[in-house]
């Protein structure tokens, strides 16, 4: 019973919050509601027994990602009301609406397969983080490592792109300018 | 406490991982070298990269067909091997193009080469797995690197290109995630062979048909973006224009090959299951793609954008072969790219060596047609080589792309899709027009502007790369037989 | 020399490559020397050819892509032999008569490559090799028209290229389908034409395949209504380009019908006799009338080519030895005559830089030798007996009479309408007083031009009086072809339409 | 009883909301928010399916999606920074020099 | 004997080639002489052959080599010298020799003297091929060959400009040449069809094989073949409605008119009918049609000759008319009579033309007989020659024309075709009238030429001497009628008058003679004393009709030539350029515009791009949703 109440509560709230995120013209509202929606989603994860995922959601999304966005927002001086031109395209809402209708249609079907053997059921007696850890470090070790590489790439990319060296472009400089600049150093 | 799990090293089959490890480790080595001593010349990095790729290539060659590794996450089948070889070969052709006589921004970063290697690792993971998770992570690794590589060219157009590519990529990632979620919800698995089994049993449930198709649609959307199928192709010309010429050439091959392999795995599965709808959807998309892209290429004013549209059209061509879902069709995909690779890289390299830092001929375009006016008078060899590439792209025999074309058309005919072959033929005819346009400019028009500055970016390595491309383009007929039999063997061995 | 065909194909190509090294001022001589050697080689081929053997000779097979059934497979029979010789001859004479100063080296190299492709098309016995040369021939021609042509040259050359290219891509699909059928029946891939001959296909396949091949060939021929690229191409091309185009390239289309359509799809071919005959007759009369309306000498000859090609088409679909043999002979004669006519137009164009008839008049008084040779070629073109033009046209009409009387009468008007436009052309430019001052001082043919033209005159008369050395081998191969078609035809009606010569019937 | 369908429908709705955001946003930063919404929607679906199948794979996928989202943010923000330095705005209507 | 065949045949060819060698050089007298000698040798050889044939009674058949061999078709260069062909050979070579000699004088001042001989000898060669060939294809070679030579020779003075038809109905030599060639080509098509019919029904083109096979053929085939071959004959022999070219052909030098357009080439049609008599004998309907058409042309042409003022054109009309007689005879089955008239006509008509040539020579190419008169003083010999020839033409006994023409008229009576007979008789009277109208206007009466400051003079002596054989033959040829009949009827069917006709022969002859003499007398009355023009008559309808050749040339110009040119223009400008080519270009343009409009989706705006992706996925999803519903 409480599960139902929680689900509907969380659902309505997330939908509402995300609607604010995509519709609000104030970036601060948008970001805040996004963060709040993500918190609620972690609540859904807990509801589904995915404790570890819920925690990750909280830490990574709400903690890290949102913090990054916050910094970015400050960097871009975007805290003030943002004026977006030509946003009220009816096509967008038509597409979104159609998408919603179609997805609902699709998901309203008895999608849950019967007689499907779970490939990686949680280890008996393990808590959710333990079970996740077991699968993650056996079956999904490789994706895990690749994800590490991916994060490394992201890090390098972030550093390189945001770095000072990007301020001057060798691409558009003539050869003389390039040597001149080198000499300056 | 939980029992410790023991896994024998042999069962992991680490060798399947070797190629990617080489690439990743190589990338790390480059980073470390940079840390130890900065200010090293790019030629060092270029050569090291080539060496790493060489080792990588060797380790792929050493793989046995149809092996799995690492809890079956890794799947080394024939198409994984071929596609990795293609990716590596194209990369080896691409990277020496960094050795231009002029300095460009991206090559001043050692990170450029590290990111490049990570990207290759990403592609390799992508093709060497049938696990949707690893595919996803591989795609993202590669894509994120690629966005950065584009932006590193460091001029306004390249940021614009990177941002466009990135944003649309993010949307595509959303489609991919959602599509996988649908499939997972349907089958409880993210591994294609299991998905196939479960779907086989559920295909008769009419109530879930929408879900089955809907999942495929979302995935198709994601891959249509990667492969730049109409109407998901819109990023392509802009990104190619914004990226440096060699990178644009590279993008028209390697990411496409990787995405095609995955598309082959996923949509081949659907078609094998008898979901004709997917086949029709792909056919419609690919026909639209090749036709409309051709028509748009027709009206371009810039050679690079024209080549961008042409590469879209080529993808449409190849994608149709996937819809056939026959061994011959799939063989054709790789054959096509193996042949197209040389020609297309050669064409983009020709653009690269004619690249000016400032736009001399046109205020917006780097490579307007006018730039090539009367090239035969200014630089006969250059014009002949470029014309060769253009004719090859147009499918004039006996140049390389022709063989790919007839192989795929033949596959279409074999599969009973004669109309498709006809459409392909007519499209080739349309395509011939815009390739010819460049030939016409080069051979039949009088030079415009100052003559001597056209091939200004040239250097020995570039010339030798182009030499290789020319030899491969012209002499393709002599290695067709081994190529076809090798690819056919590999594809049929992996059951596609 | 068993591999003479390969030598013939690749000698000009190699020479063309080496030509890049040759100095600009010597390029002409280089080109002529190569062309002469090539022509001598082709004569050698003729000499070593066994005229009594109707089958393929000097066959070479080198597998290229065995998995896909592609091999380098060449050979000649009586049908292709003379076209090869003619191609070499016309290239040689064209090169001799060439009067181009600009970028002469590029021109010579293009011509040599073009020669390779032309010979390649006619000796190829593998569909892919055939297609390869077929397409490749477009490239040098594109360059020749586009670089040395008139004011509309780019439009003309691109139109030429794209039109032919589009058509041939449909043909390519046909070839692939043919290979597929072969594979599904025999289990192995093969693009060999002689292998394909062995296939007996059901009617509906034959029709579709016939149409696919038809589109490719018809554009090249060019058949009405696919002919409009031709006036542009001829109108804009430099003399040498028109010569080669008219003499050899157009023959690729009609040759294709003989080599592919007839023996592979005998039933469909007989089914399609009437539609093709209608198109051909329209071609003959309609383009002859259009030719009459032209103001430009070259355009007249260009349209007349279309008209004559209509006669050739008609002969091919006469389905008897007289008609097909006549067609092949007419291909040769049209090649020589129209080539010569284009050269002659080039002569006057070089002198006056115009080709409009209204600019001329009374040339016969000023340039008697020129007028004489033009007159001979004109008479050959209108099919005067004892010139080369008559033999083929006579045989074609004779052969087609068997198919349709009305058709023959209509097609026979070609002897009338042909005379009308040719004679009015001759009258307007050569007869009457010299009205234009500029014409009164024109120099008659010089030595170079005579060297190019006199051999053609000799051939025109020699083969008109004594066509046997050429007609004999052609006839042999054609009879074999018909015998083969007859055997392969599936219904008795078709067998009846395919008229065998009596001596074949007796032999059976 | 709350079944899988409930979660999936929620996921679908959120996905559509995210799509609307992606399609209508002109500010790049806010557009990125919308992509996060879409990825989160997928996460819900994965977690739910994982729960109802009693299978951990879905959670794994969700986990990696989170990682991907984080990486994307890093790279995306990096790109935005260079762009902002050059252009001074994040409005994507101003981002249209290349077209046609 | 074979060597005489070859001498007869190839001497003219050698002559032509020899003269051709000097074709572009200034006049060389020896060219003419050698050409004439070679022609004479050809004549001698022909005469020997004739003697031989007469002696042995059988023809000589030689085969030089193979010409065309394809499929079952085998055409050799084969020649047959039999009674028919040898008669033709003798006539042709005799007239040719005379004309060659004549031309030495006539073309004296022409700068293209050598070229002329080349063409003329080439013509003789072609004509000999025509008559000697042993198969239809060989005949066709000669047929076309004489056509080309005729084209060359009519257009010999090609440098003359075009003038309007009011000034000169023939416009210009080159125009007339082209007209002749093209009209002949129309007929040649018929001939070709005839050849095809015979080939596909018989399997050979050899005369002997074909004629032997004829009885086995269906009647329809025979009729078709006969009609087709006769159409060919109509062109060469300028029968209505293909007759207009012959008068225009008078633009050529007069020796050409004498040789080609009177004596030899134009009779090729008659020769064809005679040669193929087995065929025509089996198709009486066609033969009757031939006879009727011949008769019609006889009077039709004669009527036009009545009012014409052009010296050569009058003779040309008379040629036309006489050809009509020949066809009438041939069509009625009297082949030997036709051939006899052919030969006799050749002599006196050539003489007439050559005489006219003398007049022209004297009158500085003036042709209008209204501007002549009283020339008899200056040109006595010519007057005699032309007078004799005109008498012969008018059929006054005992000249050649009397015998030959009378026989034809008698045949018409004999066959019971009285209408034809009547027409032919009337025509005979008309013939006499216009011939002598011309003679009197030229030679008698007042000397009108003096107004134009012309000083006529007689032709060279040697020319006049050379005309003597023709003059003599014009007088005496008729006496050999029986000999000739005996000679050729070895091959041709004999034609004898019935008893009834035989009895009436004298009366019939007298009727004709009355008409002839009446005609001459009328001519003398009207023109003997000088030219008196009658405005009223000249403005009359009939006079105008005849003067304008029944408006047939105008009709052809308005309803054939002009529409042809117009349709050609329409085909080119409207159909070819605006429809066929425009369609092709429109396809290309459509592709191009589609590209141009599609490229608009590439706005450069990221938002649009994202929308496109959204649209793509949603459309696919909708399709996916609809598909299962559709099943």
The residue among B69 and B169 whose pLDDT is bigger is: B169
Q: Are the Cβ atoms of B168 and E598 closer than 8 angstroms? A: no
Nearest by CB to B281, from E591, E613, E620: name it.
Answer: E620
Q: Are the Cβ atoms of C136 and B477 closer than 8 angstroms? A: no
> Domain tally for chain B?
1
Q: Is the pLDDT of residue B223 over 90?
A: yes
Does the beta carbon of C363 lie under 8 angstroms from any beta carbon of chain E? no
Alpha carbons within 13 angstroms on the beta-carbon side of residue B318 total: 34
Cβ neighbours, 10 Å, residue E166: 6
- Give residue-wise pLDDT tens across range B269-313: 999 988 889 999 999 999 999 999 999 999 999 999 999 999 999
- Give residue-wise pLDDT tens across range B469-495: 999 999 998 999 999 999 999 999 888
Q: Report d(CA E58, CA E290) in Å as an integer.
A: 29
Nearest by CB to C65, from B394, B436, B481: name it.
Answer: B481
Beta-carbon contacts of C221 under 8 Å, excluding residues fewer than 6 positions away, are C227, C250, C253, C254, C309, C312, C313
Does the beta carbon of D27 lie under 8 angstroms from any beta carbon of chain B? no
CA-based nearest residue in chain C for residue B410: C176
Q: What pLDDT band is residue D92 in, cutting at 50, 70 and 90?
A: confident
ipTM of the complex: 0.92
Does the beta carbon of E628 lie under 8 angstroms from any beta carbon of chain B? yes
Q: Report d(CA C421, CA C485) in Å as an integer.
A: 38
Q: Classify C499 in phi/psi space as left (phi over 0), alpha (psi -120 to 50) or beta.
A: beta
Q: What is the pLDDT of residue C507?
A: 45
Distance to chain B for E584, nearest Cα, Å: 13
Q: Are the Cβ atoms of E70 and C415 closer than 8 angstroms? A: no
Q: Report d(CA B404, CA B338) in Å as an integer.
A: 8
Q: What pLDDT band is residue C508 in, cutting at 50, 70 and 90?
A: very low
- Give residue-wise pLDDT tens across range C462-484: 999 999 999 999 999 999 999 99
Answer whether B269's CB lies under 8 Å from B187's CB: no
Q: Are the Cβ atoms of E604 and D97 closer than 8 angstroms? A: yes
Q: Is the pLDDT of residue C504 over 60?
A: no
Contacting subunits of C (3+ beta carbon pairs below 8 A): B, E
Chain A positions touching B108 (Cβ under 8 A) are 165, 170
Nearest by CB to E624, from B163, B217, B225: name it.
Answer: B217
Q: What pLDDT band is residue B5 in, cutting at 50, 70 and 90?
A: confident
Answer whether C179's CB lies under 8 Å from C69's CB: yes
Does the beta carbon of B295 lie under 8 angstroms from any beta carbon of chain E? yes
Helices (H) and strands (E) in chain D, counts: 3, 0
Q: Are the Cβ atoms of B207 and A109 closer than 8 angstroms? A: yes
CA-based nearest residue in chain A for residue D67: A147
User: What CATH number matches the domain at D28-91, 1.10.287.3510, 3.40.50.970, 1.10.1060.10, 3.30.1050.10?
Assistant: 1.10.287.3510
Q: What is the pLDDT of residue A82?
A: 64
CA-based nearest residue in chain A for residue D18: A22
List, as ranges, residues 569-608 from E with C-beta within 8 Å of C: 569, 571-573, 575-576, 580-581, 583-584, 588
CA-based nearest residue in chain E for residue D31: E607
- Give residue-wise pLDDT tens across range C244-267: 999 999 999 999 999 999 999 999
pLDDT less than 70: residues of chain E: 631
Does the beta carbon of E161 lie under 8 angstroms from any beta carbon of chain C? yes
Regarding chains B and D, contact by 3 or more CB pairs under 8 A is answered as yes
Nearest by CB to E186, from C416, C424, C501: name it.
Answer: C416
Q: Report d(CA E337, CA E329) in Å as an integer.
A: 6
Q: Is the pLDDT of residue B260 over 70?
A: yes
- Give residue-wise pLDDT tens across range B130-151: 899 999 999 999 999 999 999 9
Task: Please give the CATH number for the structural domain made up of A1-80.
Answer: 1.20.120.1200
Distance to chain C for B351, nearest Cα, Å: 22
Q: What is the pLDDT of residue B57?
A: 95
Long-range contacts of the stretch C202-209 (C-beta < 8 A, 24+): C203/C267, C203/C268, C203/C271, C203/C490, C205/C181, C206/C264, C206/C265, C206/C267, C206/C268, C207/C265, C207/C268, C207/C271, C207/C272, C208/B418, C208/C174, C208/C177, C209/C174, C209/C177, C209/C178, C209/C264, C209/C265, C209/C268
Q: Report d(CA C238, CA C229) in Å as an integer.
A: 15
Strand partners, C126: C192
Q: Report d(CA B429, CA C463) in Å as an integer.
A: 41
Q: Are the Cβ atoms of A161 and B114 closer than 8 angstroms? A: no
Q: Classify C359 in phi/psi space as left (phi over 0), alpha (psi -120 to 50) or beta.
A: alpha
- Give residue-wise pLDDT tens across range C114-130: 999 999 999 999 999 99
Q: Is the pLDDT of residue D94 over 60?
A: yes
Contacting subunits of E (3+ beta carbon pairs below 8 A): A, B, C, D
Span C188-202, average pLDDT: 91
Nearest by CB to B166, from D58, D67, D75: name it.
Answer: D75
C111: tokens are 């011509």
Beta-carbon contacts of B86 under 8 Å, excluding residues fewer than 6 positions away, are B253, B254, B257, B334, B337, B338, B341
**pTM for this one?**
0.93
Chain A positions touching D78 (Cβ under 8 A) are 157-162
Does the beta carbon of B13 lie under 8 angstroms from any beta carbon of chain C? no
Domain hosting B319: range is: 13-353+362-493
Answer whether C315's CB lies under 8 Å from E71's CB: no
Q: What is the pLDDT of residue A88?
A: 65
Task: Please report, for chain C, the start and end positions of each structural domain, with discontinuous segments joined by +.
Answer: 272-480
Cis status of the peptide bond prior to C222, with omega within 30 of 0: yes
Q: Report d(CA C291, CA C417) in Å as an integer.
A: 9
């Amino acid at each position: 019973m409480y599960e139902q109440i929680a689900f509907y509560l969380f659902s309505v709230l997330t939908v509402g919050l995300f609607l604010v995120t995509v519709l609000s013209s104030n970036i601060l509202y948008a970001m805040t509601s996004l963060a709040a929606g993500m918190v609620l989603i972690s609540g859904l994860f807990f509801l589904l027994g995915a404790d570890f995922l819920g925690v990750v959601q909280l830490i990574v999304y709400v903690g890290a990602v949102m913090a990054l966005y916050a910094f970015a927002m400050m960097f871009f001086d975007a805290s003030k009301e943002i004026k977006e031109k030509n946003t009220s395209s009816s096509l967008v809402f038509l597409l979104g609406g159609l998408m919603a209708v179609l997805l609902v249609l699709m998901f309203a079907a008895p999608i849950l397969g019967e007689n499907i053997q779970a490939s990686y059921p949680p280890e008996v007696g393990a808590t959710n983080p333990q079970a996740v850890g077991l699968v993650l470090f056996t079956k999904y070790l490789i994706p895990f490592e690749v994800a590490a590489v991916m994060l490394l790439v992201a890090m390098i990319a972030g550093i390189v792109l945001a770095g000072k060296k990007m301020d001057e472009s060798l691409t558009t400089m003539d050869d003389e300018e390039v040597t001149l600049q080198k000499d300056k150093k | 406490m939980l029992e410790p799990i023991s896994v024998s090293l042999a069962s992991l089959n680490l060798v399947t991982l070797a190629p990617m490890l080489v690439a990743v480790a190589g990338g790390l080595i480059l980073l470390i070298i940079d840390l130890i001593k900065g200010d090293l010349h790019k030629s060092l990095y270029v050569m090291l990269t080539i060496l790493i790729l060489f080792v990588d290539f060797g380790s792929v060659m050493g793989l046995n067909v149809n092996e799995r590794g690492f809890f079956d996450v890794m799947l080394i089948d024939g198409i994984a091997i071929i596609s990795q070889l293609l990716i590596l070969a194209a990369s080896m052709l691409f990277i020496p193009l960094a050795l231009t006589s002029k300095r460009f921004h991206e090559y001043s970063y050692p990170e450029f080469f590290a990111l490049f290697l990570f990207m290759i690792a990403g592609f390799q993971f992508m093709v060497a797995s049938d696990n949707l998770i690893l595919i996803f992570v591989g795609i993202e690794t590669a894509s994120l690197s690629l966005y950065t590589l584009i932006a590193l060219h460091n001029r306004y157009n390249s940021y614009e290109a990177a941002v466009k590519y990135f944003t649309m990529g993010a949307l595509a990632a959303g489609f991919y995630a959602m599509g996988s979620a649908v499939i997972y919800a349907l089958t409880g698995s993210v591994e294609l062979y299991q998905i196939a089994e479960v779907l086989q049993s559920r295909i008769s449930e009419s109530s879930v048909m929408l879900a089955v198709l809907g999942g495929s649609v979302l995935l198709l959307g994601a891959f249509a973006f990667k492969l730049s199928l109409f109407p998901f192709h819109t990023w392509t010309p802009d990104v190619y224009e914004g990226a440096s010429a060699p990178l644009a050439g590279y993008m028209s091959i390697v990411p496409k090959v990787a995405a095609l392999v995955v598309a082959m795995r996923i949509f081949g599965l659907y078609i094998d299951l008898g979901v004709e709808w997917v086949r029709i959807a792909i056919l419609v998309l690919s026909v639209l793609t090749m036709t409309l892209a051709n028509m748009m290429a027709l009206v371009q004013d810039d050679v690079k954008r024209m080549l961008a549209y042409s590469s879209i059209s080529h993808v449409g061509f190849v994608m149709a072969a996937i819809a056939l879902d026959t061994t011959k069709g799939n063989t054709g995909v790789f054959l096509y790219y193996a042949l197209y690779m040389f020609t297309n890289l050669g064409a983009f390299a020709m653009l690269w060596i004619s690249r000016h830092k400032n736009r001399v001929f046109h205020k917006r375009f780097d490579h307007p047609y006018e730039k090539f006016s009367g090239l035969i008078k200014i630089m006969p060899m250059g014009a002949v080589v470029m014309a060769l590439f253009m004719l090859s792209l147009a499918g004039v025999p006996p140049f390389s792309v022709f063989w790919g074309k007839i192989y795929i058309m033949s596959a279409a005919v074999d599969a009973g899709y004669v109309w498709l072959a006809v459409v392909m033929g007519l499209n080739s005819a349309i395509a011939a027009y815009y390739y010819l346009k460049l030939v016409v400019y080069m051979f039949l028009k009088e030079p415009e502007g100052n003559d001597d500055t056209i091939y200004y970016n040239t250097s020995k390595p570039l010339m030798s790369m182009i030499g290789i491309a020319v030899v491969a383009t012209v002499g393709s007929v002599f290695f067709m037989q081994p190529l076809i039999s090798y690819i056919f063997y590999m594809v049929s061995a992996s059951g596609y | 020399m068993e591999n003479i065909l390969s030598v013939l194909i690749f000698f000009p190509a190699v020479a063309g490559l080496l030509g890049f090294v040759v100095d600009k001022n010597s390029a002409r001589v280089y080109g002529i020397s190569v062309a002469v050697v090539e022509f001598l080689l082709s004569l050698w081929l003729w000499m070593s050819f066994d005229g009594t053997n109707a089958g393929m000779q000097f066959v070479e097979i080198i597998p290229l892509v065995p998995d896909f059934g592609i091999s380098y497979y060449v050979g000649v029979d009586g049908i292709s032999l003379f076209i090869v010789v003619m191609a070499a001859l016309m290239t040689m004479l064209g090169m001799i008569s060439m009067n181009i100063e600009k970028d002469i080296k590029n021109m010579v190299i293009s011509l040599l490559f073009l020669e390779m492709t032309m010979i390649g098309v006619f000796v190829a016995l593998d569909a892919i090799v055939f297609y390869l040369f077929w397409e490749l021939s477009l490239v040098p021609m594109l360059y020749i028209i586009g670089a040395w042509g008139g004011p509309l040259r780019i439009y003309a050359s691109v139109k030429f290229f794209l039109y032919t290219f589009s058509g041939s891509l449909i043909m390519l699909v046909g070839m692939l389908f043919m290979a597929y059928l072969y594979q599904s029946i025999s289990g192995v891939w093969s693009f060999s034409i002689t292998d394909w001959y062995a296939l007996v296909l059901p009617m509906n396949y034959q029709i579709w395949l016939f149409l696919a091949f038809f589109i490719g060939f018809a554009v090249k021929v060019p058949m009405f209504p696919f002919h409009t690229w031709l006036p542009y191409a001829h109108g804009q091309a430099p003399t040498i380009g028109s010569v080669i185009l008219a003499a050899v390239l157009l023959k690729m289309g009609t040759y294709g019908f003989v080599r592919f359509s007839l023996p592979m799809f005998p039933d469909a071919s007989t089914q399609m006799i009437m539609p093709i005959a209608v198109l051909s007759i329209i071609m003959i009369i309609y383009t002859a009338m259009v030719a009459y309306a032209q103001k430009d000498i070259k355009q007249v000859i260009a349209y007349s080519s279309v008209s004559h090609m209509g006669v050739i088409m008609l002969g091919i679909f006469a389905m008897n030895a007289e008609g097909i043999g006549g067609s092949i002979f007419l291909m040769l004669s049209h090649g020589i005559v129209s080539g010569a006519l284009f050269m002659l137009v080039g002569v006057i164009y070089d002198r006056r830089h115009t080709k409009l008839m209204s600019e001329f008049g009374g040339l016969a008084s000023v340039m008697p030798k020129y007028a004489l040779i033009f007159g001979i070629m004109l008479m050959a073109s209108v099919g005067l007996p004892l010139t080369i033009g008559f033999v083929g046209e006579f045989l074609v009409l004779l052969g087609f009479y068997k198919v349709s009387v009305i058709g023959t009468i209509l097609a026979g008007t070609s002897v009338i309408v042909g005379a009308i436009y040719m004679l009015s052309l001759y009258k307007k430019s050569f007869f009457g007083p010299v009205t234009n001052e500029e014409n009164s001082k024109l120099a008659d043919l010089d030595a170079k031009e005579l060297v190019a033209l006199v051999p053609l005159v000799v051939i025109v008369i020699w083969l008109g009086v004594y066509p046997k050395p050429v007609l004999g081998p052609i006839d042999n191969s054609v009879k074999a072809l018909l015998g083969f078609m007859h055997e392969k035809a599936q219904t008795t009606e078709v067998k009846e339409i395919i008229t065998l010569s009596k001596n074949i019937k007796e032999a059976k | 009883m709350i079944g899988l369908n409930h979660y999936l429908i929620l996921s679908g709705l959120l996905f559509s909301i995210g799509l609307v955001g992606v399609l209508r946003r002109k500010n790049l930063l806010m557009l990125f928010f919308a992509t996060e919404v879409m990825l989160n929607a997928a996460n819900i679906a994965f977690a739910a399916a994982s729960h109802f199948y009693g299978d951990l794979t879905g959670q794994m996928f969700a986990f990696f999606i989170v990682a991907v989202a984080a990486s994307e943010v890093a790279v995306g923000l990096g790109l935005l920074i260079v762009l902002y330095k050059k252009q001074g705005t994040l409005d994507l209507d101003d981002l249209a020099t290349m077209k046609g | 004997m074979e060597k005489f065949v070859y001498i007869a045949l190839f001497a003219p060819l050698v002559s032509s080639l020899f003269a051709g060698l000097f074709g572009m050089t200034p006049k060389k007298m020896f060219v003419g002489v050698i050409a004439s000698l070679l022609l004479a040798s050809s004549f001698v050889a022909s005469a020997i052959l004739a003697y031989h044939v007469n002696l042995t009674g059988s023809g000589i058949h030689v085969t030089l080599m193979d010409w065309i061999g394809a499929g079952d078709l085998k055409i050799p260069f084969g020649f047959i010298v039999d009674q028919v062909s040898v008669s033709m050979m003798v006539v042709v070579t005799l007239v040719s020799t005379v004309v060659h000699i004549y031309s030495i004088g006539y073309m004296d001042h022409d700068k293209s003297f050598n070229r002329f001989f080349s063409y003329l000898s080439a013509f003789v060669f072609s004509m000999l091929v025509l008559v000697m060939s042993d198969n239809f294809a060989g005949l066709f070679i000669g047929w076309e060959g004489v056509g080309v030579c005729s084209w060359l020779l009519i257009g010999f003075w090609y440098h003359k400009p075009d003038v309007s038809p009011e000034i000169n109905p023939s416009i210009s030599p080159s125009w007339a040449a082209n007209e002749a060639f093209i009209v002949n080509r129309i007929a040649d098509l018929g001939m070709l069809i005839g050849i095809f019919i015979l080939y596909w029904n018989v399997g050979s083109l050899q005369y002997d094989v074909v004629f032997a096979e004829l009885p086995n053929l269906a009647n329809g085939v025979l009729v078709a073949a006969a009609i087709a071959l006769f159409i060919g004959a109509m062109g060469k022999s300028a029968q209505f409605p293909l007759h207009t070219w012959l008068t225009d052909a008078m633009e050529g030098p007069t020796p050409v008119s004498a040789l080609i357009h009177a004596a030899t080439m134009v009779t090729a049609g008659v020769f064809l009918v005679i040669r193929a008599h087995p065929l025509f004998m089996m198709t009486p309907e066609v033969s009757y049609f031939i006879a009727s058409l011949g008769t019609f042309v006889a009077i039709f042409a004669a009527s036009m000759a009545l009012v014409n003022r052009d010296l050569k054109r009058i003779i040309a009309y008379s040629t036309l008319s006489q050809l009509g007689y020949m066809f009438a005879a041939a069509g009625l089955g009297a082949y030997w009579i036709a051939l006899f008239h052919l030969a006799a006509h050749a002599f006196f008509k050539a003489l007439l033309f050559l005489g006219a040539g003398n007049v022209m020579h004297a009158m500085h190419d003036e042709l209008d007989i209204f501007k002549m008169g009283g020339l008899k003083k200056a040109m006595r010999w010519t007057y005699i020659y032309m007078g004799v020839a005109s008498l012969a033409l008018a059929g006054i006994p005992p000249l050649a024309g009397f015998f030959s023409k009378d026989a034809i008229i008698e045949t018409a009576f004999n066959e019971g075709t009285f209408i034809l007979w009547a027409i032919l008789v009337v025509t005979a009277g008309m013939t006499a009238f216009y011939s002598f109208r011309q003679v009197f206007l030229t030679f008698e009466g007042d000397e009108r030429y003096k107004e134009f400051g012309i000083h006529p003079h007689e032709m060279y002596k040697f020319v006049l001497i050379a005309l003597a054989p023709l003059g003599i033959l014009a007088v005496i040829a008729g006496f050999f009628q029986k000999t000739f009949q005996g000679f050729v009827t070895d091959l041709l069917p004999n034609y004898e008058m019935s008893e009834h006709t035989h009895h009436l022969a004298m009366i019939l002859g007298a009727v004709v003679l009355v008409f002839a003499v009446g005609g001459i007398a009328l001519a003398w009355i009207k023109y003997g004393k000088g030219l008196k023009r009658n405005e009223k008559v000249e403005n009359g309808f009939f006079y105008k009709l005849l003067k304008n050749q029944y408006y047939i040339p105008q009709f052809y110009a308005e309803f054939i030539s002009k529409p042809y040119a117009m349709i050609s223009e329409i085909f080119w400008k409207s159909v070819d350029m605006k429809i066929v080519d425009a369609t092709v270009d429109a396809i290309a343009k459509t592709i191009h515009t589609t590209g141009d409009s599609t490229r608009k989706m590439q706005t450069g705006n990221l938002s649009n791009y994202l929308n496109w992706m959204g649209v793509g996925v949603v459309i696919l999803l909708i399709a996916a949703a609809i598909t299962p519903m559709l099943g």
